[in-house]
Structure 1
Amino acid sequence: MLVCEYTGMKVQEAKPLIRTKLLELGHGVIYSEPEIKVVSRSGDECVVALIDQWSFGLGTRLPWYNQFLVESLSDSTLYMAYYTVAHLLQNGDFYGSDTSTIKPEQLADENHLTFCIYNHTALLQKHHWPRGFRTNGHIMLNSEKMSKSTGNFITLRQAIKKFSVDAIRFSLADVGDGMDDTNFVFEMANAALDLKLPFDEVEVLTENVDLIKRQLGLKYLKVLSARVDGAASRAGTHSVLLIQNLPSPGNPTAIFLSW
């Protein structure tokens, strides 16, 4: 800096001092703005932070202690079971007689999974405990985290209109396995739309499975004839029916099954 009492200071040193002085003199105001574009759940870009919003003040209050809200993680992992006894709690009192031996610092890594386990084991008998959990990473859309706040999302209705139901099923069969991030890619859905076949080409498909796998980027691929009874039901949800190019009676020629 080259002027006033800030002469010789670095910019990062002078900025907070200048900010404070401007506020003290009434020449500046504090305001906030988002670092990135924010999109609402309705798909609209947010440009103003409204203070009087309908969502403020939401939360479930304990029926017997209205001054306390139900902790959000507990609420989202056990509220289903709560409603089975809610009618008993609404008209009565509930008192705890012991002190937890768990210290707050022991819960630094709390999440939905551990809270769900804690709540079920503490409140329910063993035969009511969850028998298993299926976990996954982020839900990705075109290799970026799917998030309504950033606008990177697509609804089921929009996806069906854009790609068709079969193309979506085809793409979902290849979104990822195990702990991998689930990644829905538009290119895969578009590839499924392009797979339209004339009559009697199941044999051709079967002979070229390796080529098809490479072209579509699939790990596994199986071709079934849709004319065989029960083929569609055996394929299950991870399949797509290939529509014929030429109008003809009967079922589509083949089913692609990816798993």
Structure 2
Amino acid sequence: MDQWYLDYGEPAWRAQTEEHLTRMDTWTVETRNLFEATLAWLSQWACARTYGLGSKMPWDPQFMVESLSDSTIYMAYYTVAHLLQGGDITGHTVGPLGVTAEQMTDEAWEYIFCDGPWPNPEPFPREKADVMKHEFNYFYPFEMRSSGKDLVQNHLTFSLYNHVAIFPEDKWPLGIRTNGHLMINGQKMSKSKGTP
């Protein structure tokens, strides 16, 4: 079938991400080595699927972004979620700023996260965007993301690549720490084995 790919092996993008890794805290040599090894082999990654939950490809909505490629920069959204959703994790409630999901255009996100120009016509009052921008600038870059070491070979490396591609350098992650695996009956705990 036709497939969409992210070209993680593109030389300039890879070089930027490798350079960023040299300045990032990984807490252990093992984690740093895992990132370095992944950056050395990772190339084109099929990033689309036709079933399940997830984000639709904006340019080809018959496909969804596959789960390891999806949500690699969600930490940025966490900085403003309380203002847009007011604690309602379902997204059905408009948050305290009174800004709806439809008003959050690509241009508004670009203004908040990447210092882009404020759109004209404006989707909502700029003062509300400035409140979100303040929150984002206060909490970003994140100092530590903690996750399973098995995600270094995909999701966590994708997160580094995507931060480098989307955000200005002063918003790139400061650290990623990995943890080991919990053992149950002498085996790694795993959803695929029926252990939560």
Band of TM-score, shorter chain: 0.3 to 0.5
| Structure with the larger helix share | 2
Q: Identify the structure with bigger relative contact order (alpha carbons < 8 Å, sequence gap 6+).
A: 2
Q: Name the TM-score, length of structure 2 as normaliser.
A: 0.33
Choose 1 or 2 for highest CA Rg.
Answer: 1
